[in-house]
C-alpha cells in the first residue's frame, strides 16, 4: 500500500525544512532566538491547522513545483477593486475579462481597512483583518479570491510592513500608555535622537509631509513617521512585531491570498548615521517572513516593494547567504526608469550599461516583476556613478531633462504628465502620468503621431513580456487610458497628484475601435506569444548585449531548445544593425512577433521606429 502522511506529518516535514533557513536570520535579529523559534513553531502550526482544504491541496501542488510562479504562463494585472469592478461582490463578474486577457496573477490594490480620511491611497491600514467597508467584508473577499483561484488566477494584495495607521489597535494601545504596544513603534521621549537621525534621512514626501518624526502632546513622545504623520513606523527590532505581522499574513493567506506585495520594505531597518533604507537587517526580516510562510502556507509567495537604486535592488531577490531565501519577486523599477529615459533621449547607452552592469542574468528561485508604470510616480533613479560611464550624459541634468520631457514642457515632447513631490532644496522631481499619456497618445493630433504612440506602447509591453519575470500590466494600459485630471475635483485625492494615473476603468473604451482596440490587440498577441515561448520563463537567464549601437537595446534569453534574441529600437527613425553585432551567426531567423522570416537589407537588420523583434533560429 502507498505510504500516507497525516497533516501533522506534513507540518513536521515543512517545519524541519524551513527551520534551517529561519535560525540564521532570527538569531541575527533577536536575542533569545531559541524561545522565539518555539513560539514561531506554535504560531505556524496553528495557522496550518486552520488552512482550508482547497488551499492545503494548492500547498501540495506548489511543494512539488516550487518554481510555479516563474512560468512563462504568468502575467499580472494590477487594479483598484472599486475602480475596476465597483466592489468585491461584483469582482467575480469581471474575471472573464481578466481570463480573456491571459491574466494569471491579480494584484488588488489596497483593500484592507484604512484609516478614515487621508490614507496614502490605502497604505495607512487601521485593521489588517478587515476589508475596507466601501469594498465589502471578509466574506465577500473570500468569495472573490475563491472565484479568482477557480479561474486559475492567483489573488495578490498589499501588506504594509513598515508602518500602521495611527488608528491601528496597536497604536491606540500605545497612545493610551501600554508599554507593550509602545515597544511596537519607534518612540522617543525628546527630540535628541530624532534630530540626529534626520541628519542623514531622506524626506519621502517633502511637499506634503516634511520631516520623519512627529510630536504628540497627549503621548508626550516623538514618533517615527517616515511617510505621513498618520503612519507610524513599526519597530522591527522587537520580536513581538515579527510574530504579530506574520500572524496577520497567515490569517490573510487562509482567506485565499496567494501573494503579498510587501510594501515599503526598504525602510524597516533603522541605524544612526544612515539613510535608514536597504539596511542588511531588512533582508534578514524578509527571509524570516518568506521561510516562515513556506512552512504554514507553501502556496504563497512574496513580492518586495523596494523602489531603490540598482545597487540596492538586487539583494531583495537574494544574494550571498540570502540567495534563494528572501522574497520571490521584486519590482524592476530600473527597467521602467531606463525604458522612459531611452524613449525621451533616443539613446540606449545608459539603459544597456545599467541593466548589464548591475543585474545578474538570473536568480535562484526568484525573479523580477518588470513593469512600464504603476499606481505610483516615476522616480528618476539615475546616478552619477552610472552616467560617468556614458559620455555626454550627466545625472542631474539628465534627471531634469526627463522631468521636463515627461511633464510636457520640453519643446517637442510627445509626453503629457506632471511633476510630483518637487524638492526645492535638491531640485529633484518625480513624474506622474498614465502609460498612454506619457507615451504620446494624449498629445497626438495627427495619424502619424497616433501611430508613433501606439508603437511606443507596443514596445513597452513587448519589453516587459520578454525581459524575464512576471510582467505587470496596470489597469487600463491595455486599452490606452489617458490621464485623469478630474482627480483635482475630488476632495480625497486633490492633494495627491498620483491619482492622475489611477483613472477608473473605462469599460466603454474597452470595447471601442481605434487606438484602444489596436493597443489591446497588440497586447493580446504579445501575451499569447509569451505563453508559447518557454525561453521567456522567469528562471531563464537574460543577457544584455553590448552592441555599440546607441539607439538599440538588445538582450538574449538563454533558454532551450534555442536562444531568443530581442532587439528594440527606442528612436523615431529606422535603425540598422549587422547580425554579427547582435551575436547572430547569420543563419535564418524568424521574428516571433510578426511571424515572418527576418529579411536583411544590404546584410543589415533594419528596425523601423519603436519596433521590437523577438528573433529565434528558423528551423
pLDDT at 2 over 80: no
Question: How confident is the model at residue 587, as a pLDDT?
Answer: 87
Q: Is 423 part of any domain?
A: no
Q: Is 255 part of any domain?
A: no
Question: How confident is the model at residue 1, as a pLDDT?
Answer: 43
Q: Is 43 part of any domain?
A: no
- Cβ atoms of residues 588 and 616 within 8 Å: no
Instruction: Point out the catalytic residue in the list 263, 284, 377, 477.
Output: 263
Q: Is 182 part of any domain?
A: yes
Q: Is 465 part of any domain?
A: no
Domain that holds residue 214: 169-232
CA distance 183 to 235: 7
Average pLDDT over residues 289-296: 98
Report the CATH number at residue 601. Answer: 2.60.40.1180
Q: Is 153 part of any domain?
A: no
Encode 459-493 in three state secondary structure: HHHHHHHHCCCCCEEECCHHHCCCCCHHHHHCCCC
Average pLDDT over residues 145-172: 98
Dihedral of the alpha carbons of 82, 85, 88, 89, in degrees to the nearest 10:
130
Q: Is 92 part of any domain?
A: no
Dihedral of the alpha carbons of 595, 596, 598, 599, in degrees to the nearest 10:
-160
pLDDT at 416 over 90: yes
Within 465-588, strands assigned E span 472-474, 542-545, 552-557, 564-569, 575-577
What is the count of structural domains for the chain? 2
Q: Name the DSSP class of 426.
A: T
Instruction: Point out the catalytic residue in the list 72, 305, 522, 539.
Output: 305
pLDDT at 361 over 90: yes
CA distance 581 to 566: 13
- Cβ atoms of residues 453 and 441 within 8 Å: yes
* pLDDT tens-place string over residues 538-574: 999 999 999 999 999 999 999 999 999 999 999 999 9
Beta-carbon neighbour count of residue 468 at 10 Å?
29
Question: How confident is the model at residue 203, as a pLDDT?
Answer: 87
pLDDT at 535 over 80: yes
Q: Show which of 232, 248, 283 is a domain's final residue.
A: 232
Residue 263 annotated as catalytic: yes
Report the CATH number at residue 182. Answer: 3.90.400.10
Q: Helix 333-345 vs helix 447-466: angle between axes, to the nearest 10 degrees?
A: 150
Q: Is 464 part of any domain?
A: no
Q: Show which of 207, 232, 257 is a domain's final residue.
A: 232
Residue 167 annotated as catalytic: no
Q: Show which of 232, 249, 268 is a domain's final residue.
A: 232
What residues contact residue 229 under an 8 Å CB cut-off, 6+ apart?
Answer: 166, 209, 214
pTM score:
0.96
* pLDDT tens-place string over residues 458-505: 999 999 999 999 999 999 999 999 999 999 999 989 989 999 999 999
Amino acid at each position: 500500500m502507498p505510504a500516507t502522511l497525516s497533516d501533522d506529518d506534513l507540518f513536521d516535514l515543512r517545519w524541519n525544512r524551513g527551520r534551517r533557513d529561519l535560525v540564521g536570520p532570527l538569531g541575527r535579529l533577536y536575542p533569545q532566538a531559541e524561545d522565539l523559534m518555539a513560539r514561531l513553531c506554535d504560531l505556524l502550526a496553528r495557522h496550518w491547522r486552520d488552512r482550508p482544504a482547497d488551499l492545503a491541496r494548492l500547498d501540495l501542488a506548489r511543494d512539488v513545483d516550487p518554481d510555479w510562479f516563474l512560468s512563462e504562463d504568468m502575467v499580472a494585472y494590477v487594479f483598484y477593486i472599486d475602480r475596476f469592478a465597483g466592489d468585491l461582490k461584483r469582482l467575480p463578474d469581471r474575471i472573464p475579462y481578466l481570463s480573456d486577457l491571459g491574466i494569471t496573477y491579480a494584484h488588488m490594490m489596497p483593500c484592507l481597512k484604512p484609516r478614515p480620511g487621508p490614507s496614502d491611497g490605502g497604505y495607512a491600514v487601521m485593521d489588517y483583518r478587515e476589508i475596507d467597508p466601501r469594498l465589502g467584508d471578509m466574506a465577500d473577499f473570500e468569495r472573490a479570491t475563491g472565484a479568482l483561484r477557480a479561474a486559475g488566477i492567483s489573488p495578490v494584495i498589499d501588506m504594509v510592513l513598515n508602518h500602521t495607521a495611527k488608528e491601528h489597535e496597536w497604536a491606540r494601545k500605545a497612545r493610551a500608555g501600554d508599554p507593550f504596544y509602545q515597544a511596537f513603534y519607534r518612540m522617543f521621549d525628546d527630540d535628541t535622537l530624532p534630530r540626529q537621525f534626520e541628519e542623514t534621512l531622506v524626506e519621502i514626501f517633502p511637499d506634503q509631509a516634511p520631516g520623519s518624526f512627529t510630536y504628540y502632546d497627549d503621548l508626550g513622545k516623538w514618533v517615527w513617521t517616515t511617510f505621513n504623520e498618520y503612519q507610524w513606523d513599526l519597530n522591527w527590532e522587537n520580536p513581538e512585531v515579527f510574530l504579530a505581522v506574520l500572524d496577520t499574513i497567515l490569517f490573510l493567506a487562509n482567506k485565499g491570498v496567494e501573494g503579498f506585495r510587501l510594501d515599503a520594505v526598504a525602510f524597516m531597518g533603522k541605524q544612526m548615521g544612515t539613510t535608514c533604507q536597504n539596511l542588511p537587517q531588512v533582508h534578514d526580516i524578509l527571509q524570516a517572513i518568506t521561510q516562515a510562510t513556506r512552512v504554514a502556507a507553501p502556496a504563497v509567495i512574496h513580492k518586495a516593494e523596494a523602489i531603490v537604486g540598482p545597487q540596492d535592488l538586487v539583494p531583495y531577490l537574494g544574494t550571498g547567504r540570502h540567495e534563494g531565501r528572501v522574497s520571490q519577486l521584486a519590482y524592476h523599477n530600473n527597467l521602467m526608469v531606463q525604458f522612459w529615459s531611452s524613449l525621451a533621449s533616443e539613446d540606449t547607452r545608459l539603459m544597456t550599461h545599467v541593466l548589464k552592469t548591475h543585474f545578474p542574468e538570473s536568480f535562484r528561485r526568484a525573479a523580477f516583476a518588470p513593469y512600464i508604470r504603476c499606481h505610483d510616480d516615476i522616480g528618476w533613479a539615475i546616478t552619477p556613478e552610472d552616467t560617468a560611464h556614458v559620455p555626454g550624459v550627466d545625472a542631474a541634468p539628465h534627471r531634469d531633462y526627463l522631468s521636463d520631457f515627461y511633464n510636457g514642457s520640453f519643446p517637442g515632447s510627445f509626453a503629457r504628465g506632471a511633476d510630483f513631490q518637487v524638492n526645492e532644496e535638491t531640485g529633484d522631481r518625480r513624474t506622474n502620468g498614465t502609460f498612454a499619456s506619457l507615451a504620446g497618445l494624449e498629445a497626438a493630433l495627427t495619424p502619424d503621431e497616433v501611430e508613433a504612440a501606439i508603437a511606443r506602447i507596443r514596445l513597452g509591453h513587448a519589453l516587459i513580456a520578454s525581459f524575464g519575470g512576471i510582467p505587470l500590466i496596470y489597469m487600463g494600459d491595455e486599452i490606452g487610458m489617458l490621464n485623469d485630471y478630474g482627480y483635482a475635483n475630488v476632495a480625497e485625492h486633490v492633494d495627491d497628484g498620483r491619482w492622475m494615473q489611477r483613472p477608473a476603468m473605462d469599460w466603454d473604451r474597452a470595447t471601442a475601435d481605434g487606438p484602444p482596440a489596436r493597443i489591446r490587440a497588440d497586447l493580446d498577441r504579445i501575451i499569447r506569444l509569451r505563453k508559447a515561448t518557454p525561453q521567456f520563463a522567469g528562471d531563464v537567464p537574460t543577457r544584455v548585449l553590448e552592441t555599440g549601437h546607441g539607439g538599440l537595446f538588445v538582450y538574449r534569453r538563454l533558454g532551450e531548445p534555442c536562444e531568443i534574441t530581442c532587439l528594440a529600437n527606442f528612436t523615431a527613425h529606422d535603425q540598422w544593425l549587422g547580425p554579427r553585432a547582435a551575436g547572430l551567426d547569420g543563419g535564418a531567423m524568424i521574428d516571433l512577433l510578426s511571424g515572418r522570416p527576418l529579411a536583411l537589407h544590404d546584410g543589415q537588420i533594419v528596425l523601423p521606429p519603436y519596433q521590437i523583434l523577438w528573433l529565434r533560429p528558423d528551423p
